[in-house]
Amino acid sequence: MDDLRPSSGVAAGLAPLFPPGLQAIYGECRRLYPDQANPLQVTAIVKYWLGGPDPLDYISMYRNVGCPAQDVLEHWHYISLGLSDLYGDNRVHEFTGPEGPSGFGFELTFRLKREAGETAPPTWPAELMQGLARYVFQSENTFCSGDHISWHSPLDNSESRIQHMLLTEDPQMQPVQTPFGHVNFLQIVGVCAEELQAAQQWNGQGILDLLRGLHVAGGPWLITDMRRGETIFEIDPHLQDRVDKGIETDGSNLSGVSAKCVWDDLSRPPEDEDDSRSICIGSQPRRLSDKGKDTEQIREALRKGLEINSKSVLPPISSQRQSHDQPQSRKDSLESESSAAIVPHELVRTRQLESVHLKFNQESGTLLPLCLRGRLLHGRHFTYKSINGDTAITFVSTGVEGAFATEEHPYAAHGPWLQILLTEEFVEQMLRDLQDLGSHDEIKLPKEYSWPDKKLKISVLPDCVFDSPLQ
């Protein structure tokens, strides 16, 4: 449970032993808001380190007058305290010294358009930030600028079209150096489903730049307006052309998603006892190539299945640490940690398969064109990691180094990890056959696609199939 009170009460109560991490962030807030020394603050009544449910100790809420010269609207500015190390005594975060990140290395911020007549900030963004913080603490996955988060629900529980989020650097908050490490400030930006999909197909930074260019969609400081009823593509249809050209030129930065998926080996009966999808534990993984720029992405993609706010979601699996305008090598690679994440045993042999059947729910299936066009045609890989178990499906192109699937044996499994190597010619054929998955028309399920000459079958099935204990 949270409590709403001026922050002066918190500061006064802790004055003799004012936590240095907290003090450093308050100092940055005072730089921005010198006339708001005691902002309203949502406070976790029972702190996380005392067994409470909310990881953020405090969320400060400021009134920002905007910047008329830059056409920036007046808005509410929310700033979290708790993802970084506030105390330095190991009560929440392990203290590792001042050189690295403090705690998770960042705090969240959010800018919400102030409605006419509003005299106090709405408090629902505080619960949204607590939900994201719970995900970070439970999964130990951190966020980076350019990441996107599928939420599948209006952020304020209204009827709004703003149902998903992108993350970017806060335009005003400067990184802070504390005695316990450095802290960056990542701003949450509310977006529509169509904008999230575009970020998945291209990259988050590209869509953020488009949002900055439209006053009604966020403007330079990316202020979220929960009453925005049009997507950026409805406001300016030419923006879709910019996204399409970006995908064609850059490909997609999204290397994998958590998904409802499963794969079956059609080249042998399922009761075969020699099922290498069983996991053995205890030995060192085999070594794959450690070259390439996406190894961090594939490692993260295979390391965790993600779930936010008790909803099955398809968030970014990895931190997009590259700048979106940096060229990426056509040579991509997988490395040993990828296989270790799923099958940490050298003795689980890699098995070549003659024929495979891939099954996805609708949300995962609609990302197949992205996987093929945005990743494989650019010499990269894309992974579906099951949220229901250890199963993973990685599509690789012929340009990926270190893959155990080859052109001679394009379907190969190592434990529950299936790799599928697709030639450029086959990718083009699949894109033509899967065109309906990329449209906005409703798809009648189940839907089946088959390439008998390639011995590959893909089914798109209702969610309930994957929720069954038999699956």
What pLDDT score was predicted for residue 402?
A: 84
Mean pLDDT computed over 404-408: 93
Q: Identify which of 176, 195, 28, 34 has the alpha carbon closest to the alpha carbon of residue 102.
A: 176
Q: Identify which of 44, 36, 83 has the alpha carbon closest to the alpha carbon of residue 61.
A: 36
Tell whether the model's pLDDT for residue 321 goes beyond 60.
no
What pLDDT score was predicted for residue 2?
A: 66
Tell whether the model's pLDDT for residue 295 goes beyond 80.
no
Mean pLDDT computed over 55-61: 97
DSSP 413: E
Mean pLDDT computed over 120-147: 94
* One CATH from 1.10.220.150, 3.30.1360.230, 1.10.150.240, 3.30.1120.10 for 253-268+347-470: 3.30.1360.230
pTM of the model: 0.74
Q: pLDDT tens across 68-96, in order?
A: 899 899 999 999 999 999 999 999 999 98
Listed in order, the ranges of the chain carrying CATH 3.30.1360.230 are 253-268+347-470
187-196, 247-256, 261-270: which has the minimum mean pLDDT? 261-270
Q: Identify which of 225, 213, 56 has the alpha carbon closest to the alpha carbon of residue 133.
A: 56
Counting Cβ atoms within 10 Å, is residue 200 exposed (0-12), middle (13-18) or buried (19+)? Answer: buried
What pLDDT score was predicted for residue 443?
A: 82
What pLDDT score was predicted for residue 308?
A: 35
CA distance 456 to 461: 16
Q: Are 307 and 315 in contact (CB under 8 A)?
A: no
Residues in the chain, total: 471
Residue 260 banded pLDDT, cuts 50, 70, 90: very high
Tell whether the model's pLDDT for residue 242 goes beyond 90.
yes
Most confident among 237-246, 266-275, 286-295, 313-322 (mean pLDDT):
237-246
What pLDDT score was predicted for residue 155?
A: 97
